[in-house]
Amino acid sequence: MRIMSWNCKGLGKSSAILQCKKKALDLKPDFLFLMETRLFSDKRKEVWEKCGFSKGWEVPRVGLSGGLILAWVPKQELRVVFDSQNIIHINLLDDRGRPLSITFVYGHPNHSKRGVVWQQLKSMKQWAHPSWLCIGDFNQILNKEEKFSFKNGNILGAEEFQQVLRDLHLCDLSASGQRFTWINNREEENFVMERLDRAFGVEWVNQYPFYSLKNLPIIRSDHGPILLDLEVQTPFRNRPFRFELMWLTHEDCKEMVYHAWDLQSIGSRATYKASLSSSQPPRRSNSRSPNTRQQPTARDWNLIIKVATTKNRRQCRYGIVYEALTLHGENVFFGVASTTARTATGALLEAVIEAGLAAKAQGFPNVLFITDSKRLMQTIKKECVMDWMDSTRLADYCFLTQNGLFCDVFWVPHVIVKDIWFVAKVATQMPQHYYYQFLAGLL
Protein backbone atom coordinates (compact mmCIF):
# COMPACT_ATOMS: atom_id res chain seq x y z
CA MET A 1 0.00 0.00 0.00
CA ARG A 2 1.36 3.41 -1.00
CA ILE A 3 0.22 6.79 0.33
CA MET A 4 1.11 10.19 -1.11
CA SER A 5 0.51 13.42 0.82
CA TRP A 6 1.05 16.87 -0.70
CA ASN A 7 0.17 20.46 0.20
CA CYS A 8 -0.35 21.63 -3.38
CA LYS A 9 -1.18 25.29 -2.60
CA GLY A 10 -4.10 25.55 -4.97
CA LEU A 11 -5.45 23.54 -7.91
CA GLY A 12 -7.40 26.32 -9.59
CA LYS A 13 -5.12 26.51 -12.64
CA SER A 14 -4.87 23.81 -15.27
CA SER A 15 -1.06 23.80 -14.91
CA ALA A 16 -1.42 22.93 -11.22
CA ILE A 17 -3.78 20.04 -11.99
CA LEU A 18 -1.38 18.84 -14.69
CA GLN A 19 1.52 18.82 -12.22
CA CYS A 20 -0.57 16.92 -9.68
CA LYS A 21 -1.61 14.44 -12.37
CA LYS A 22 2.03 13.89 -13.37
CA LYS A 23 3.09 13.15 -9.79
CA ALA A 24 0.19 10.75 -9.22
CA LEU A 25 0.73 8.84 -12.46
CA ASP A 26 4.49 8.61 -11.90
CA LEU A 27 4.34 7.51 -8.25
CA LYS A 28 1.13 5.40 -8.55
CA PRO A 29 -0.12 5.77 -4.95
CA ASP A 30 -3.12 3.87 -3.59
CA PHE A 31 -4.13 6.95 -1.57
CA LEU A 32 -3.68 10.59 -2.60
CA PHE A 33 -4.13 13.27 0.06
CA LEU A 34 -4.13 16.88 -1.18
CA MET A 35 -4.24 19.96 1.05
CA GLU A 36 -4.97 23.62 0.28
CA THR A 37 -6.80 22.66 -2.91
CA ARG A 38 -8.85 25.91 -2.91
CA LEU A 39 -11.34 24.33 -5.30
CA PHE A 40 -15.04 24.75 -5.87
CA SER A 41 -17.01 21.62 -5.03
CA ASP A 42 -17.91 20.95 -8.67
CA LYS A 43 -14.25 20.41 -9.65
CA ARG A 44 -13.29 17.81 -7.05
CA LYS A 45 -14.22 14.74 -9.12
CA GLU A 46 -12.42 16.12 -12.17
CA VAL A 47 -9.20 16.38 -10.19
CA TRP A 48 -9.03 12.87 -8.82
CA GLU A 49 -10.21 11.29 -12.07
CA LYS A 50 -7.39 13.03 -13.96
CA CYS A 51 -4.98 11.67 -11.37
CA GLY A 52 -6.17 8.12 -12.04
CA PHE A 53 -8.61 7.63 -9.14
CA SER A 54 -12.28 6.71 -9.36
CA LYS A 55 -13.26 7.31 -5.73
CA GLY A 56 -12.62 10.24 -3.43
CA TRP A 57 -13.70 12.42 -0.55
CA GLU A 58 -13.58 16.21 -0.34
CA VAL A 59 -13.69 18.80 2.38
CA PRO A 60 -14.66 22.09 0.62
CA ARG A 61 -12.69 25.27 1.01
CA VAL A 62 -13.74 28.06 3.37
CA GLY A 63 -13.64 31.42 1.64
CA LEU A 64 -10.57 31.43 -0.60
CA SER A 65 -8.38 29.07 1.43
CA GLY A 66 -8.32 25.50 2.66
CA GLY A 67 -9.87 22.48 1.06
CA LEU A 68 -8.92 18.81 1.33
CA ILE A 69 -9.15 15.93 -1.15
CA LEU A 70 -8.63 12.26 -0.36
CA ALA A 71 -8.71 9.92 -3.36
CA TRP A 72 -8.14 6.18 -3.47
CA VAL A 73 -8.13 3.27 -5.93
CA PRO A 74 -11.21 1.03 -6.16
CA LYS A 75 -9.50 -2.01 -4.61
CA GLN A 76 -9.30 -0.20 -1.25
CA GLU A 77 -12.45 -0.64 0.83
CA LEU A 78 -12.64 1.95 3.59
CA ARG A 79 -14.99 3.93 5.77
CA VAL A 80 -14.66 7.66 6.39
CA VAL A 81 -15.28 8.04 10.12
CA PHE A 82 -14.66 11.77 10.58
CA ASP A 83 -13.85 14.84 8.53
CA SER A 84 -13.29 18.53 9.21
CA GLN A 85 -11.40 21.43 7.69
CA ASN A 86 -8.15 19.92 8.99
CA ILE A 87 -8.67 16.17 9.44
CA ILE A 88 -10.00 13.17 7.51
CA HIS A 89 -10.03 9.91 9.49
CA ILE A 90 -10.64 6.52 7.83
CA ASN A 91 -10.68 2.87 8.89
CA LEU A 92 -9.77 0.09 6.46
CA LEU A 93 -7.99 -3.23 6.01
CA ASP A 94 -4.43 -3.28 4.70
CA ASP A 95 -3.15 -5.55 1.92
CA ARG A 96 -2.83 -8.43 4.39
CA GLY A 97 -6.35 -8.02 5.77
CA ARG A 98 -5.28 -6.41 9.06
CA PRO A 99 -7.29 -3.48 10.48
CA LEU A 100 -5.65 -0.10 10.01
CA SER A 101 -6.63 3.47 10.85
CA ILE A 102 -5.26 6.47 8.95
CA THR A 103 -5.72 10.08 9.98
CA PHE A 104 -4.88 12.62 7.30
CA VAL A 105 -3.92 15.88 8.99
CA TYR A 106 -3.57 19.46 7.83
CA GLY A 107 -2.36 21.58 10.72
CA HIS A 108 -3.85 25.05 10.86
CA PRO A 109 -1.42 27.67 9.48
CA ASN A 110 -2.41 30.04 12.29
CA HIS A 111 -0.60 29.07 15.51
CA SER A 112 -3.39 30.35 17.73
CA LYS A 113 -5.90 27.98 16.07
CA ARG A 114 -3.63 24.96 15.94
CA GLY A 115 -4.74 23.75 19.37
CA VAL A 116 -8.20 22.99 17.98
CA VAL A 117 -6.61 20.62 15.45
CA TRP A 118 -4.67 18.85 18.23
CA GLN A 119 -7.89 18.35 20.18
CA GLN A 120 -9.55 16.84 17.12
CA LEU A 121 -6.54 14.57 16.65
CA LYS A 122 -6.83 13.38 20.26
CA SER A 123 -10.49 12.59 19.76
CA MET A 124 -9.61 10.29 16.84
CA LYS A 125 -8.10 7.80 19.29
CA GLN A 126 -11.56 6.50 20.19
CA TRP A 127 -12.09 5.34 16.56
CA ALA A 128 -8.54 4.26 15.85
CA HIS A 129 -7.35 0.66 15.59
CA PRO A 130 -4.16 -0.43 17.39
CA SER A 131 -2.31 0.15 14.09
CA TRP A 132 -2.76 3.87 13.60
CA LEU A 133 -1.10 6.18 11.09
CA CYS A 134 -1.16 9.98 11.06
CA ILE A 135 0.19 11.64 7.93
CA GLY A 136 0.07 15.08 6.34
CA ASP A 137 1.24 18.67 6.74
CA PHE A 138 1.20 19.38 10.47
CA ASN A 139 2.46 22.97 10.07
CA GLN A 140 4.57 22.42 13.18
CA ILE A 141 8.17 21.41 13.86
CA LEU A 142 9.34 19.49 16.93
CA ASN A 143 12.77 21.04 17.55
CA LYS A 144 15.39 23.40 16.16
CA GLU A 145 17.02 20.67 14.07
CA GLU A 146 13.92 20.65 11.86
CA LYS A 147 14.34 24.30 10.86
CA PHE A 148 16.95 26.17 8.82
CA SER A 149 17.01 29.92 9.26
CA PHE A 150 19.54 32.73 9.42
CA LYS A 151 17.65 34.18 12.39
CA ASN A 152 17.55 32.68 15.87
CA GLY A 153 14.16 32.67 17.49
CA ASN A 154 11.83 30.66 19.68
CA ILE A 155 9.89 27.73 18.25
CA LEU A 156 6.23 28.33 18.95
CA GLY A 157 4.00 25.34 19.63
CA ALA A 158 6.74 22.69 19.77
CA GLU A 159 6.15 21.69 23.40
CA GLU A 160 2.39 21.46 22.92
CA PHE A 161 2.84 19.30 19.82
CA GLN A 162 5.28 17.00 21.61
CA GLN A 163 2.80 16.56 24.45
CA VAL A 164 0.07 15.54 21.99
CA LEU A 165 2.36 12.91 20.50
CA ARG A 166 3.18 11.54 23.95
CA ASP A 167 -0.48 11.37 24.94
CA LEU A 168 -1.37 9.45 21.78
CA HIS A 169 1.80 7.29 21.82
CA LEU A 170 2.64 8.40 18.30
CA CYS A 171 6.19 7.74 17.09
CA ASP A 172 7.87 9.80 14.38
CA LEU A 173 8.58 7.73 11.25
CA SER A 174 12.07 8.29 9.91
CA ALA A 175 12.23 9.56 6.34
CA SER A 176 14.78 9.57 3.56
CA GLY A 177 15.31 12.10 0.79
CA GLN A 178 14.97 15.82 1.39
CA ARG A 179 15.71 16.99 4.93
CA PHE A 180 13.16 19.82 4.78
CA THR A 181 9.71 19.68 3.17
CA TRP A 182 8.81 23.38 3.10
CA ILE A 183 10.50 26.62 2.00
CA ASN A 184 9.21 30.17 2.28
CA ASN A 185 10.52 31.26 -1.18
CA ARG A 186 12.26 34.31 0.26
CA GLU A 187 15.85 35.46 -0.18
CA GLU A 188 18.93 36.28 1.89
CA GLU A 189 18.38 36.51 5.66
CA ASN A 190 14.62 35.89 5.37
CA PHE A 191 15.09 32.45 3.80
CA VAL A 192 13.60 29.61 5.91
CA MET A 193 13.23 25.85 5.45
CA GLU A 194 11.31 23.51 7.79
CA ARG A 195 10.17 19.91 8.05
CA LEU A 196 6.39 20.25 8.26
CA ASP A 197 5.20 17.25 6.25
CA ARG A 198 5.67 13.96 8.06
CA ALA A 199 4.07 10.78 9.37
CA PHE A 200 3.55 9.28 12.84
CA GLY A 201 2.49 5.79 13.80
CA VAL A 202 1.34 3.66 16.72
CA GLU A 203 2.78 0.12 16.82
CA TRP A 204 4.11 0.91 13.39
CA VAL A 205 7.59 -0.62 13.35
CA ASN A 206 6.24 -3.89 14.76
CA GLN A 207 3.40 -4.13 12.24
CA TYR A 208 5.26 -2.74 9.20
CA PRO A 209 9.00 -3.27 9.69
CA PHE A 210 9.72 -2.79 5.97
CA TYR A 211 8.02 0.59 5.58
CA SER A 212 9.62 3.38 3.54
CA LEU A 213 8.95 7.11 3.91
CA LYS A 214 10.45 9.50 1.34
CA ASN A 215 10.51 13.29 1.29
CA LEU A 216 10.30 14.18 -2.40
CA PRO A 217 11.72 17.37 -4.00
CA ILE A 218 9.80 20.63 -3.71
CA ILE A 219 8.32 21.48 -7.13
CA ARG A 220 5.77 24.19 -7.96
CA SER A 221 4.30 24.39 -4.44
CA ASP A 222 6.29 25.56 -1.44
CA HIS A 223 5.78 22.05 0.00
CA GLY A 224 7.28 18.82 -1.25
CA PRO A 225 5.20 15.63 -1.41
CA ILE A 226 5.88 12.75 0.96
CA LEU A 227 5.46 9.14 -0.11
CA LEU A 228 4.87 6.28 2.33
CA ASP A 229 5.16 2.62 1.34
CA LEU A 230 3.83 0.29 4.02
CA GLU A 231 5.95 -2.64 2.89
CA VAL A 232 8.95 -2.48 0.57
CA GLN A 233 10.56 -5.80 -0.22
CA THR A 234 14.17 -5.44 -1.33
CA PRO A 235 15.01 -7.75 -4.25
CA PHE A 236 17.10 -10.77 -3.37
CA ARG A 237 20.61 -10.76 -4.79
CA ASN A 238 22.88 -13.76 -5.06
CA ARG A 239 26.11 -13.09 -3.22
CA PRO A 240 29.39 -14.86 -3.83
CA PHE A 241 30.54 -17.39 -1.27
CA ARG A 242 33.01 -16.05 1.30
CA PHE A 243 34.82 -18.04 3.96
CA GLU A 244 34.42 -16.64 7.47
CA LEU A 245 37.42 -16.96 9.79
CA MET A 246 35.13 -17.36 12.79
CA TRP A 247 34.01 -20.77 11.46
CA LEU A 248 37.39 -22.20 12.45
CA THR A 249 36.63 -21.49 16.11
CA HIS A 250 33.61 -23.79 16.10
CA GLU A 251 34.25 -27.05 17.91
CA ASP A 252 32.67 -29.16 15.13
CA CYS A 253 34.46 -27.43 12.24
CA LYS A 254 37.21 -30.02 11.70
CA GLU A 255 34.86 -32.97 11.92
CA MET A 256 32.46 -31.35 9.44
CA VAL A 257 35.28 -30.77 6.94
CA TYR A 258 36.42 -34.40 7.20
CA HIS A 259 32.86 -35.58 6.69
CA ALA A 260 32.41 -33.36 3.62
CA TRP A 261 35.57 -34.70 1.97
CA ASP A 262 34.32 -38.27 2.35
CA LEU A 263 31.08 -37.54 0.49
CA GLN A 264 30.76 -38.66 -3.14
CA SER A 265 29.82 -35.46 -4.94
CA ILE A 266 29.70 -34.53 -8.61
CA GLY A 267 30.34 -30.85 -7.89
CA SER A 268 28.36 -27.87 -9.10
CA ARG A 269 25.71 -27.88 -11.80
CA ALA A 270 28.22 -26.61 -14.36
CA THR A 271 30.65 -29.44 -13.49
CA TYR A 272 27.81 -31.95 -13.77
CA LYS A 273 26.83 -30.72 -17.25
CA ALA A 274 30.47 -30.71 -18.34
CA SER A 275 30.88 -34.31 -17.21
CA LEU A 276 27.79 -35.33 -19.17
CA SER A 277 28.95 -33.59 -22.33
CA SER A 278 32.41 -35.15 -22.08
CA SER A 279 30.93 -38.63 -21.66
CA GLN A 280 28.68 -38.30 -24.72
CA PRO A 281 30.04 -38.82 -28.25
CA PRO A 282 30.35 -35.67 -30.36
CA ARG A 283 27.40 -34.85 -32.57
CA ARG A 284 27.72 -35.09 -36.31
CA SER A 285 27.13 -31.91 -38.18
CA ASN A 286 24.43 -31.85 -40.80
CA SER A 287 26.15 -30.95 -44.05
CA ARG A 288 22.82 -30.25 -45.72
CA SER A 289 22.07 -27.31 -43.46
CA PRO A 290 23.52 -24.02 -44.77
CA ASN A 291 23.75 -22.46 -41.29
CA THR A 292 25.92 -25.09 -39.58
CA ARG A 293 29.18 -23.62 -40.78
CA GLN A 294 31.87 -23.62 -38.11
CA GLN A 295 32.93 -20.20 -36.86
CA PRO A 296 36.39 -19.21 -38.16
CA THR A 297 39.28 -18.80 -35.74
CA ALA A 298 41.41 -15.66 -35.50
CA ARG A 299 43.67 -16.91 -38.31
CA ASP A 300 40.74 -17.65 -40.66
CA TRP A 301 39.36 -14.10 -40.86
CA ASN A 302 40.05 -12.68 -44.32
CA LEU A 303 39.09 -9.12 -43.51
CA ILE A 304 38.60 -6.86 -40.51
CA ILE A 305 36.20 -3.98 -41.09
CA LYS A 306 35.85 -1.04 -38.71
CA VAL A 307 32.42 0.67 -38.73
CA ALA A 308 31.42 3.92 -37.01
CA THR A 309 28.60 6.45 -37.07
CA THR A 310 27.67 9.83 -35.62
CA LYS A 311 24.65 12.11 -35.84
CA ASN A 312 24.15 15.71 -36.86
CA ARG A 313 21.38 16.67 -34.42
CA ARG A 314 20.52 19.87 -36.23
CA GLN A 315 19.85 18.13 -39.55
CA CYS A 316 18.77 14.80 -37.97
CA ARG A 317 21.14 12.91 -40.22
CA TYR A 318 23.64 10.14 -39.54
CA GLY A 319 27.01 9.77 -41.20
CA ILE A 320 28.48 6.28 -41.57
CA VAL A 321 31.98 5.15 -42.44
CA TYR A 322 33.74 1.80 -42.75
CA GLU A 323 37.34 0.79 -43.36
CA ALA A 324 38.42 -2.71 -44.45
CA LEU A 325 41.84 -4.01 -43.43
CA THR A 326 43.63 -7.31 -43.89
CA LEU A 327 45.18 -9.16 -40.97
CA HIS A 328 48.49 -7.52 -41.90
CA GLY A 329 46.97 -4.03 -41.68
CA GLU A 330 46.73 -3.35 -45.42
CA ASN A 331 43.84 -1.19 -46.60
CA VAL A 332 41.40 -2.90 -48.97
CA PHE A 333 38.54 -0.42 -49.29
CA PHE A 334 37.04 2.54 -47.49
CA GLY A 335 33.45 3.75 -47.65
CA VAL A 336 31.57 6.83 -46.45
CA ALA A 337 27.88 7.71 -46.73
CA SER A 338 25.12 9.95 -45.43
CA THR A 339 21.99 8.13 -44.29
CA THR A 340 18.53 9.05 -43.04
CA ALA A 341 18.36 6.15 -40.58
CA ARG A 342 16.39 7.10 -37.47
CA THR A 343 18.65 5.28 -35.00
CA ALA A 344 22.37 4.82 -34.55
CA THR A 345 21.88 1.04 -34.72
CA GLY A 346 20.13 1.38 -38.06
CA ALA A 347 22.96 3.55 -39.42
CA LEU A 348 25.57 1.02 -38.31
CA LEU A 349 23.55 -1.84 -39.84
CA GLU A 350 23.55 0.05 -43.12
CA ALA A 351 27.33 0.43 -42.89
CA VAL A 352 27.72 -3.29 -42.15
CA ILE A 353 25.56 -4.23 -45.17
CA GLU A 354 27.43 -1.94 -47.59
CA ALA A 355 30.81 -3.15 -46.33
CA GLY A 356 29.67 -6.78 -46.43
CA LEU A 357 28.55 -6.45 -50.06
CA ALA A 358 31.90 -4.88 -50.98
CA ALA A 359 33.81 -7.63 -49.17
CA LYS A 360 31.82 -10.38 -50.90
CA ALA A 361 32.31 -8.75 -54.31
CA GLN A 362 36.09 -8.73 -53.79
CA GLY A 363 36.23 -12.38 -52.69
CA PHE A 364 36.50 -12.16 -48.89
CA PRO A 365 34.11 -14.76 -47.36
CA ASN A 366 35.11 -14.41 -43.68
CA VAL A 367 34.67 -10.90 -42.31
CA LEU A 368 34.97 -9.59 -38.76
CA PHE A 369 33.27 -6.27 -38.02
CA ILE A 370 34.53 -4.21 -35.09
CA THR A 371 32.48 -1.38 -33.57
CA ASP A 372 32.25 0.69 -30.41
CA SER A 373 28.47 0.13 -30.22
CA LYS A 374 27.36 -2.59 -27.82
CA ARG A 375 23.79 -2.14 -28.99
CA LEU A 376 24.72 -3.12 -32.55
CA MET A 377 26.39 -6.27 -31.28
CA GLN A 378 23.34 -7.17 -29.17
CA THR A 379 20.99 -6.46 -32.08
CA ILE A 380 22.84 -8.82 -34.41
CA LYS A 381 23.22 -11.52 -31.77
CA LYS A 382 19.54 -11.44 -30.74
CA GLU A 383 18.18 -10.48 -34.19
CA CYS A 384 15.75 -8.06 -32.59
CA VAL A 385 15.20 -4.34 -33.31
CA MET A 386 12.53 -1.80 -32.35
CA ASP A 387 12.37 0.29 -35.55
CA TRP A 388 10.69 -1.22 -38.63
CA MET A 389 13.30 0.29 -40.97
CA ASP A 390 16.04 -1.28 -38.87
CA SER A 391 14.25 -4.63 -39.10
CA THR A 392 14.52 -4.34 -42.90
CA ARG A 393 18.25 -3.69 -42.63
CA LEU A 394 18.62 -6.62 -40.24
CA ALA A 395 16.86 -8.87 -42.77
CA ASP A 396 19.35 -7.76 -45.42
CA TYR A 397 22.20 -8.61 -43.07
CA CYS A 398 20.76 -12.09 -42.43
CA PHE A 399 20.40 -12.59 -46.20
CA LEU A 400 24.12 -11.87 -46.63
CA THR A 401 25.09 -14.38 -43.94
CA GLN A 402 22.94 -17.07 -45.59
CA ASN A 403 24.45 -16.55 -49.02
CA GLY A 404 28.16 -17.15 -48.78
CA LEU A 405 29.35 -14.41 -46.39
CA PHE A 406 30.31 -15.40 -42.87
CA CYS A 407 30.63 -12.39 -40.56
CA ASP A 408 30.69 -11.62 -36.88
CA VAL A 409 30.63 -8.43 -34.79
CA PHE A 410 33.10 -7.62 -32.03
CA TRP A 411 32.98 -4.70 -29.61
CA VAL A 412 36.07 -2.49 -29.17
CA PRO A 413 36.69 0.74 -27.22
CA HIS A 414 35.97 4.01 -29.01
CA VAL A 415 39.67 4.82 -29.37
CA ILE A 416 40.02 1.96 -31.89
CA VAL A 417 37.51 3.52 -34.31
CA LYS A 418 38.16 7.14 -33.42
CA ASP A 419 40.18 7.78 -36.60
CA ILE A 420 37.26 6.92 -38.89
CA TRP A 421 34.66 8.42 -36.52
CA PHE A 422 35.86 11.89 -37.49
CA VAL A 423 35.18 11.03 -41.14
CA ALA A 424 31.63 10.00 -40.21
CA LYS A 425 31.21 13.40 -38.58
CA VAL A 426 32.09 15.06 -41.87
CA ALA A 427 29.68 12.74 -43.71
CA THR A 428 26.74 14.21 -41.80
CA GLN A 429 27.21 17.43 -43.82
CA MET A 430 26.88 15.55 -47.13
CA PRO A 431 23.62 15.39 -49.11
CA GLN A 432 21.10 12.71 -48.18
CA HIS A 433 21.87 9.20 -49.46
CA TYR A 434 25.32 10.35 -50.59
CA TYR A 435 27.62 7.34 -50.92
CA TYR A 436 31.21 6.98 -52.03
CA GLN A 437 33.67 4.08 -51.81
CA PHE A 438 37.42 4.21 -52.21
CA LEU A 439 39.25 1.12 -53.44
CA ALA A 440 42.68 0.08 -52.22
CA GLY A 441 44.45 1.52 -55.22
CA LEU A 442 42.97 4.95 -54.59
CA LEU A 443 43.78 5.15 -50.87
**Is 276 inside a domain boundary?**
no
Query: Is 112 in the same domain as 197?
Result: yes
Query: Is 34 in the same domain as 146?
Result: yes
Residue 413 is inside which H or E element, if any?
Answer: none
Query: Is 91 in the same domain as 218?
Result: yes
pLDDT at residue 439, rounded to an integer? 66
With helix as H, strand as E and coil as C, how does 89-110 read? EEEEECCCCCEEEEEEEECCCC
pLDDT at residue 423, rounded to an integer? 84
CATH of the domain at 348: 3.30.420.10
In this prediction, the residues of the chain whose per-residue pLDDT falls under 50 are: 268-274, 276-292, 299, 442-443
Query: Is 186 in the same domain as 325?
Result: no
Domain boundary among 205, 229, 253: 229
Query: Is 15 in the same domain as 121?
Result: yes
Query: Is 223 in the same domain as 315?
Result: no
**Is 54 inside a domain boundary?**
yes
**How many domains is the chain partitioned into structurally?**
2
pLDDT at residue 316, rounded to an integer? 74
Q: Which residues have CB under 8 Å from 379's CB, separation 6+?
A: 345, 349, 385, 390, 394
CATH of the domain at 124: 3.60.10.10
Query: Is 172 in the same domain as 318?
Result: no
pTM above 0.75, yes or no: no
Spatial separation of the C-alpha atoms in residues 347 and 75, rounded to whole Å: 48
**Is 196 inside a domain boundary?**
yes
Domain that holds residue 362: 303-442
Sequence-ordered alpha helix ranges (H) in 51-139: 114-123
Domain boundary among 194, 229, 264: 229
Whole-angstrom CA distances from 30 to 2, 76, 174, 213, 352 are 5, 8, 21, 15, 50
pLDDT at residue 326, rounded to an integer? 87
**Is 80 inside a domain boundary?**
yes
Q: Which residues have CB under 8 Å from 406's CB, separation 6+?
A: 293, 295, 296, 365, 366, 367
